[in-house]
Amino acid sequence: MTNEKPPHQHQEGYHASSLRYLGYASQLGEIFRYVIGHKMVGHAYSVAIAYVIAETLIKSKQEYKQQKVRNYGRVLFVGMDTFLWHAFASIILPGIVLQRTSSFFYNRLFMVPNPVRGLTVAGLGIMTIPVIVRPIDDFVDGVLDVMLRKFSP
């Protein structure tokens, strides 16, 4: 792999705008699961998935446009890298960690009345986010470095 940044780290596309916060909708859904209900969590995931797909398409399009000589393999690689990184670092792994964390706290606070219980769990979940972001991002980068990026065209 070259010394350039992985495709998901380039500051173009939606990642450089305030729309990037849509990628965190699934995390908010998991945090507020016991306040908003399970059905709304599914909608939050839909928003996050739509963001990941849009970001993947825009990064692939940018890669295509900047090429002087067409390299479709590189365009596909950028798309795969962007999609996999965002899917795992923004949706799958944080979703698992936050859902399990919220469930743990919810089950431990069984003596607290329900509206307060849900909001307390949400508050604890919000405090969990800064602790998990960097380790998850670094883990996903490490896995992609070993499994995908070493085959970069």
105-152 pLDDT, tens digit per residue, is 999 999 999 899 999 999 999 999 999 999 999 999 999 999 999 988
pTM: 0.85
Instruction: Say if CB 33 and CB 119 are below 8 A apart.
Output: no
- The structural domains of the chain, with segments of one domain joined by +, span 12-151
Q: How many helices (H) and strands (E) does the chain have?
A: 6, 0
Please tell me the predicted confidence (pLDDT) of residue 108: 95
pLDDT digits (tens, 9 = 90+) for 3-38: 566 665 555 666 667 787 888 899 999 999 999 998
